[in-house]
Structure 1
Amino acid sequence: MNKPQNTPSKKLLAVFAHPDDESFICGGTLAKYASEQVDITLVSATRGEMGRRMGNPPYLNRETMAAAREIELRNACDSLGIRQLQFLDIRDKTVEFVDEDSLTSRIAAIIQEIDPDVVLTFHEKLGGHPDHCAIGKATTAAFEKTGQRGSLYFITFGDVMERPERYGYARKDVVKIDVHAHLDAKLAAFRDHRCQTEIDEWVWLPDQEAKARFGNYEYFLKADRAFTVLNQHDLFGRRIEI
């Protein structure tokens, strides 16, 4: 009798700028794939030490912020099922000023080491915050530099990509992930980022009321429009070249 072959785990690498990017923007998706035994690595460029929120009432300062936010991020990773966490040790609000070639090379080395099936990062123009755009630009360049076999996607905010045409994209460029079954984990991760969410009263309402503030879907843009995803509800969906 033949022994069953062990199926290699799918791997996802998320490269973001700050603690809480992973939870606030795509926590449902990360929790969904973690529940499906996807091996997830999160890279945070900074420790968020320049964040304007310091608790409610304030209990942090510039000296204590980085350590507190690191602890909060590690707790959020546990809530979402993220197995590995790395920091690039860049000062918050300075990612755009880091030498671009050096940053690209650092991220490329991580990509080569992990060999992920899916990479998530920010869009270099639609990221909003300068740190978001800078880490997205460097990650995109690193992905291209490595000739990576996997797929690169840009995270997006809320449900803005229900109408991607406003941003120069088509519906075929968007992957829409159903996260309704993973809102408990997403809410837990929100609450783990305590110093950033204590001021938001809705986060601390009874669970059902708080979860009602979340959408049931999270949206991702294909970085490479020259392929079609056969399943537009799965970041790991089989792809074909156009």
Structure 2
Amino acid sequence: MERHVLVVFPHPDDETFGTGGTIASFTKAGVPVTYACGTLGQMGRNMGKPFFATRETLSEVREKELRAACDALGIKDLRLLGLRDKTIEFEDREVIADQLLSIIEELNPSLIITHYPGFAVHPDHNALGAACVRAVEKLPVAKRPVVYGHAFARNREEFIGSPDVTIDIHDVAETKLEAVRAHRSQSENVIARFEEALKNKEAAAQFGPSMFTESFYTMKFA
């Protein structure tokens, strides 16, 4: 049983699409989960289908969606880091690492879930994941939590092998779906596929492995 789980991702919906089932599994078991969300995704391209958000209102819309998704997943503690969407790679990594280190020292989590630097596709994913890893490196070795890296670049297994942690989320798939629905501006184009995948195995197989399993790499430190 984990003591406390800290999730560190840059965008509203990162916590849901890739790791929502894992988070729900922890909260269902009574493990507290804190989500440190880097940005409000204000530069995202999806505005709903049909559109119901604009560039000016998107940050407000996505924050409301994020809070609803956190409620669905059982996340009681949401920390907004206040970073700017699509610019994290240009920020001072040490400054962000120190911001995360402060949260880590406050919460003393036994597990951190973040993006695997270099293998998480989006520059914001890779940059915040790297800052999170740097924050953990600043801790004494004996006080470092386990860190799971979420990687989904197509070449990941060529360079870092197969994931060493796979979590079955069948029991919380409906909870994950509720969180997906909460991120309406980002999910309306895929929600029908999620719903169909829950109904039959063939649709689930076509959707991909993340429907009922979520996989991670245990990060290694020097």
Tell me, yes or no, if structure 1 residue 216 matches structure 2 residue 212: yes
Tell me, yes or no, if structure 1 residue 100 matches structure 2 residue 90: no
Unpaired stretches in structure 1, ≥5 consecutive residues = 1-7, 227-242
CA change 1:200–1:180 in 2 (3 A) is: same
1-structure distance, mates of 2:127, 2:65: 23
Tell me, yes or no, if structure 1 residue 167 matches structure 2 residue 192: no
Cα deviation for residue 204 of structure 1 reads 7.0
2-structure distance, mates of 1:100, 1:225: 17
Root mean square deviation of aligned Cα: 2.3
Tell me, yes or no, if structure 1 residue 64 matches structure 2 residue 57: yes
Identical-pair percentage: 38
1-structure distance, mates of 2:194, 2:15: 19
Residue 126 of structure 2 aligns with an amino acid whose one-letter code is: C
Cα deviation for residue 128 of structure 1 reads 0.6
Provide the residue aligned with 2:174 in structure 1: 184
Tell me, yes or no, if structure 1 residue 128 matches structure 2 residue 109: no
Tell me, yes or no, if structure 1 residue 34 matches structure 2 residue 21: no
Equivalent residues of 1:190, 1:203 under 8 A apart: no
2-structure distance, mates of 1:183, 1:209: 11
Give the structure-2-normalised TM-score: 0.88
Residue 176 of structure 2 aligns with an amino acid whose one-letter code is: K
Cα deviation for residue 47 of structure 1 reads 0.2
2-structure distance, mates of 1:9, 1:216: 21
Cα deviation for residue 20 of structure 1 reads 0.2
1-structure distance, mates of 2:4, 2:99: 19
Provide the residue aligned with 2:5 in structure 1: 12
Q: Which protein, 1 or 2, shows the higher relative CO under an 8 Å CA cutoff with sep ≥ 6?
A: 2
2-structure distance, mates of 1:207, 1:222: 28
Tell me, yes or no, if structure 1 residue 195 matches structure 2 residue 190: no
Provide the residue aligned with 1:53 in structure 2: 46
Equivalent residues of 1:111, 1:146 under 8 A apart: no
Q: Which has the higher helix share?
A: 2
Cα deviation for residue 205 of structure 1 reads 4.4
